[in-house]
A and B are shown apart, each in its own frame.
Chain A
Amino acid sequence: MLSYILRRILATLPVMAIVALFVFSLLYIAPGDPAVVIAGDQASPEDVERIRQSLGLDRPFLIQFGDWVWRILHGDLGTSIFTNLPVSAMIGQRLGPTLSLMTVTLLLTIVVAVPLGVVAAWKAGSLVDRAIMAFAVFGFSLPVFVVGYMLAYIFALELEWLPVQGYTPLSEGFWPWLENLILPAIALGCVYIALVARITRAAMLEVLQQDYIRTARAKGLGQGGILFIHALKNAAVPIVTVIGIGIALLIGGAVVTESVFAIPGLGRLTVDAILRRDYPVIQGIVLLFSFVYVLVNLLIDVTYTLVDPRIRY
């Protein structure tokens, strides 16, 4: 098992290398010349050339790439063209809010979506099932920003139960922290909840047909024990998979959600960096997200072995 995890971590290296190459090429693929952007509208061609040289942009592609990778391996993600701050420091500042938002959304999703899916499968074909599935379609089709503004309008502006926007770090208390994250997490989680609930229902429907569920009934188990112990653990593999895949959805959604709720997180940083063509920052963020995603995939594979004893690596 341990050797498997080690091997998997080693196997992420080529993946990360390809991601790195792609991320680096962005600079060349994307329209616009960073040297021109930095130099500003008033700059003469000589100024632009000077800046280009000082940034090393005049060197051959592979040399630049090698240099860049070398620095990343030493923990240096470069310096923002716009703020002149180290990219790692900028990301570090913004990591907390995004991590908080994603964690709360993830927990909310699991707590809401899995039971919904289980109940829908148990009551398959009934009114309850149809209501849950209708909700799932609804949640799936509403864009994050629509849900976000609706929630903010109803629960923050009209009812004044929760703050409209902003972010408070966890170090200033649990409730102030959570209070600011509830609405964004619901807005961001809608699609995710719909997705996970649907997959849970489908996986459970199949499991509930199995012979061992009949055995569990014949043993005199109650409905709860049958659904949540005997059936859910068997349905866990597809559910865990879709929860993991959904994290990619969360990363994308976080960008929009953070804009709607004015959360100073990575999403906002990304948007700002793209608008300013701040390539070192964009590269750093994309690299970080890719790395997180690769890690999440590893985590999913390891989780399989916990829920299904037949899966061994």
Chain B
Amino acid sequence: MALLEVENLQTHFRTPGGINRAVDGVSFHVNEGETLAIVGESGCGKSVTSMSLMRLIPEPPGRIAGAIRFAGRDLLQLPDREMRAIRGNDISMIFQEPMTSLNPVLTVGRQIRETLMMHQGLDKQAAEVRAIEMLTLVGIPEPKRRVREYPHQLSGGMRQRVMIAIALACNPKLLIADEPTTALDVTIQAQILKLMLDLKRRVGAAIILITHDLGVVAEIAERVMVMYAGRKVEEASVAELFRAPRHPYTQGLLGAVPRLGSSLSGASKRLAEIPGQVPDLRKPITGCVFAGRCPLVTDLCRQYAPGLEEKGPRHIAACHYAAKGAVAA
């Protein structure tokens, strides 16, 4: 059953240069306990999508339209007060920058207690006990000492663990992780990913993982949605997407992943890049959003935007030539 259903989400920003359509008509769903990855390069609208789900986009200059149904309720129609009761409680979020996402002048314990006292109605003592429990759960040694410490006394990996502890303290149904490992070094990345998977199994939360790291996607996601220029261009199960990417953009993304040791085995090839740049989102785009950079582009692509079509088993992509692309891959 779908826990979250997003329908025709449009998040636009008013800017001096015109309306920036950061997210333009994106629909997707997340099932209970499922992990959905949203993939795309910088500026494709994946972070704006996640912020829109939480209604954390400042309005104005932003404007969110469409429908975001969470457990049957449209979040966009809720009054602020009810939305606040959902944030940090039913849906919580982990951010990319663990170094700056914690408040430097409040103790770690205080920052974990806050959500517990607000959403679960715990008193200070009970919240403190639970905060220590959460720190233990996310693998922070000496939790009794750490709750009294300030963020600057912790390393980046530790801080991200604290963020996870805060996010999971109220047993959310949905966890949105916006590039949770990008700012961490590789060994810590693996630890944090493993931790998220462990906790997901324990708590049973669904996860929306926002990333540009396809390695991370293969590691923990079940389903992938590829975004480009504020639109969804492809969606499939992880196995299916890696086996047979249909959209030329997805193919490009997969081709741009370096393979470790390829030069030793003699299989070394020049890393494929996607030439060109993301189109200016302040100008209306006719035709396919990827037309300017696509190797398969034709006049048809420049004139008519392709719709999302079923290209394989539970596999959709927005490309006039997707079938051909699949063969080419």
Contact = CB atoms under 8 A, between A and B. Distances in A.
- Say what secondary structure dominates the interface of chain A: helix
A212 B86 contact: no
Contacts of A222: 84
A230 interface: yes
Interface in B73-97: 84-89, 92-93, 95, 97
Nearest to A212: B103
Contact of B103 (A218, A220, A230, A307): A230
Q: How large is the interface on A (under 10, 10 to 19, 20 to 34, 35 or more residues)?
A: 20 to 34
A307 B105 contact: yes
B100 A210 contact: yes
A309 interface: yes
Given A211-B95, A214-B56, A310-B152, A219 B115 contact: yes
B241 interface: no
Contacts of A221: 84, 88, 114, 118
Nearest to B163: A215
Contacts, number: 72
B166 A220 contact: no
Select the residue from B56, B85, B95, B103 with max chain A CB neighbours within 10 A.
B103
Contacts of A236: 105
B54 interface: yes
B2 interface: no
Given A211-B101, A212-B103, A220 B95 contact: no
A219 B104 contact: no
B119 A218 contact: no
B105 A308 contact: yes
B103 A234 contact: yes
A222 B101 CA distance: 18
A220 B86 contact: yes
B119 A234 contact: no
B53 to A, nearest CB: 11
A211 B54 contact: no
Query: Which 7 A-B pairs rank lowest in CB-CB distance, beginning with the nearest?
Result: A220-B87, A219-B88, A220-B88, A211-B100, A212-B103, A309-B150, A218-B93
14 contacts: A211-B100, A214-B95, A218-B54, A218-B92, A218-B93, A219-B87, A219-B114, A220-B86, A221-B88, A221-B118, A236-B105, A308-B105, A309-B105, A310-B105
